[in-house]
Amino acid sequence: MSFGPDCFTPMSRLAGTCYYEGIMISQTAISHLVEKLGRSNVLHEKEDLLTLAFDATPGLNLLPDVVVYPTTTDHVLTAMGIAHREGLPLVPRGSGTGLSGGSVPAKGGMVLAMTRMNRILEIDEANLTATAETGVITLDLFNAVAEKGLFYPPDPGSQKISTLGGNVMEDAGGLRGLKYGVTRDYVMALKCVLPDGSIITTGGKSVKDVAGYSFKDLLVGSEGTLGIITEVTVKLIPPPQDKRTFLAYFDDIRVAGEAVSKIIAAKIIPSTMEIMDRATINCVEDYVKIGLPRQMAALLLIEVDGHPAMVAEDAEGVQKILKQVKATEVHVAKDADEAASLAAARRTALSALARVSPTTLLEDATVPRSRLAETFAEIGRLTEKYKLKVGTFGHAGDGNLHPTVLCDERDLDEMERAHAFYDELYEKVLAWGGTVSGEHGIGLAKKEYLARQIGEGGVRVMKRIKHAFDPEGILNPGKIFEDEDLSTRSYKEDGSRVSP
């Protein structure tokens, strides 16, 4: 086996691609998979495998040995059995929009692409729930429940492509998180295949459930390392009846941070308070051309929603605060179409930034909201100190920022500076009680930071939990923390495993 030397370090250290060469799958296992899942659901030619060797995280490209597309929970169980017999890593994957390498097959093995399990099984209007297979596209679910007059709030930036299962495994956030919370807040039940070969359903349509440890809450955000979820039941709520959208521009990004803190402190909870700095504004404007003012230091996209009377009051409150802090300009969207196009422009931020440099290193720093202005100041200071090009955008209302270094992975000196930039930034973020990941997960790219946040003791307990679920270390190995190395595993021709 061989790893590229820098594969499992923070993104800023990742340069080039690397391949894991330690695992091969037996012909017996391939035949078994084909027999059980059907030929079209099993891919093992290199040209097929290449397309599933990465997610949306830059610099990570690791080949699986085989890719299977289960279409039933039983297919997943079959794959789990074969993975155990062969000592093969099993790596679940949605659409691959993840931003920390969570679904990249770090140690080769079998990728379980869940995208063909994409049926919406039920929308239960009496209990306000929806049940869907994990491969359903987030926006498809949103639209299906909207047709029934209901609302599924979580809206990750990638909602047009991302899957519900991927959202659950990373506990994805989104633009509406400030008021409505994140994916975790809507998961009511999970159907899950555990490594020991049992199929469990944890949670249900009851809105309260305290029967033992909450597997459901442990599985949410577990990045495919504890079980493979096949069905998800989510909570729905009545949709907001009204919405008002603003764009506020600022000469100084710290003032934007101050505005956010003041709005919250005034007990106004907008559904959305998104920020873009000057670099991001310019990249977005280059991309979508909707007339954003290029000279501004920052903009806030603010949406208030709910009952029309409350929306009117909140809108007034927000405008008053924006005036108080001396926002340079406040633009009110004239109608729903304009509001939608402003939100869509914000959603392009990452793509827009990614267009302008060979490498885009995106981070997910999150601080208590009261620290926003300081965080912007710190990002500014570090950008200068390390002579980098940085675009920052994100969910300001949640204190969840995506400072993005625009660089070139071939420039090793620049990559080192980028690493130092994040390193120093996270030191402050952690000192302020923040987190190294607000919504992207730890995956492969952020393992080094995790220990700094939760300590070696915390990592130790996580490993023990992992071991409790998956003693063989089959599920998505190498993610969140270093786990048992599978490289010493091998198998016999009959498909049975040789114990190390």
First to last CA, the chain: 16
- Per CB under 8 A, 291 contacts a copy of itself: no
Residue closer to a copy of itself, measured from CB, 194 or 297: 194
Q: What is the distance of C-alpha 496 from the center of its chain? A: 36
With tokens 């903009």, the residue in question is 299
Closer of 213 and 337 to a copy of itself (Cβ): 213
User: Whose Cβ is closer to a copy of itself: residue 104's or residue 194's?
Assistant: 194
User: Which residues contact residue 387 at a Cβ distance below 8 angstroms, ignoring those fewer than 6 apart?
Assistant: 417
Is 208 an interacting residue with respect to a copy of itself (CB under 8 A)? yes
For residue 173, state whether it binds a copy of itself (rule: CB under 8 A): yes
Q: Are 164 and 233 in contact (CB under 8 A)?
A: no
Determine whether 461 is exposed, middle or buried from the number of CB atoms within 10 Å of its CB (0-12, 13-18, 19+).
exposed
Q: Token pair 């039940």 is at which residue? A: 189
Encoding tokens for residue 64?
Answer: 């699986």
Interaction residues for a copy of itself, span 378-397 (CB under 8 A): 395
Among 1, 50, 121, 237, binds a copy of itself (CB under 8 A): 237
Nearer to a copy of itself (CB atom), residue 34 or residue 310: 310
454-493 binders of a copy of itself (CB under 8 A): 454-455, 457-462, 464-465, 467-469, 480-481
Stretch that binds a copy of itself, among 45-53, 76-84, 288-296, 302-310 (CB under 8 A): 302-310
Amino acid at the residue 187: V
> In this chain, which of 84, 116, 205, 254 binds a copy of itself, going by CB under 8 A?
205
Residue given tokens 């039941």 in the structure block: 233
* Sequence-ordered list of residues with C-beta below 8 angstroms from that of 454, at least 6 positions apart, any chain: 462
Binding range to a copy of itself, per CB under 8 A, among 34-42, 88-96, 156-164, 451-459: 451-459
> Should residue 440 be labelled a site residue for a copy of itself when binding is judged by CB under 8 A?
yes
Backbone angles phi, psi at 417, to 5 degrees: -65, -40
The window from 215-223, 271-279, 319-327, 411-419 that contacts a copy of itself (CB under 8 A) reads 215-223
Torsion-angle region of 127 (φ positive above 0: left; ψ -120 to 50: alpha; else: beta): alpha
Q: Position of tokens 């029309």?
A: 308
Q: Is 194 in the site for a copy of itself (CB under 8 A)?
A: yes
What are residue 490's DSSP bridge partners?
498
Query: Residues 260 to 279: which contact a copy of itself by CB under 8 A?
Result: 261, 264-265, 267-269
Q: Which stretch binds a copy of itself (CB under 8 A): 12-20, 29-37, 90-98, 444-452?
A: 444-452
For a copy of itself, give the closer residue by CB, 238 or 291. Answer: 238
Among 133, 277, 409, 439, contact with a copy of itself (rule: CB under 8 A): 439
| Residue 125 Cα distances to 131, 135, 147, 203, angstroms | 11, 22, 11, 18
What number of chain residues touch a copy of itself (CB under 8 A)?
A: 91
Examine residue 198 and tell whether it contacts a copy of itself (CB under 8 A). Answer: yes
The piece of 17-25, 61-69, 200-208, 486-494 that touches a copy of itself (CB under 8 A) is 200-208
Radius of gyration (C-alpha) of the chain in whole angstroms: 23
Q: How far is the CB of 378 from a copy of itself (least distance, A)?
A: 16
Name which of residues 308 to 327 contact a copy of itself (CB under 8 A).
308-310, 313
Q: Which two tokens stand for residue 135?
A: 């491969």
Q: For residues 188 and 35, what is the distance between their CA atoms, to the nearest angstrom?
A: 34
* Contact letters for a copy of itself, residues 18-37 (x by CB under 8 A): --------------------
Residues in Cβ contact with 331 at an 8 Å cutoff, skipping those fewer than 6 apart: 246, 247, 248, 249
Q: Which is nearer to a copy of itself, 256 or 407 (CB)?
A: 256
Answer yes or no whether residue 121 interacts with a copy of itself by CB under 8 A: no
Q: Give all strands (DSSP E) within 342-407, no chain letters.
A: 359-362, 365-366, 389-395, 400-407
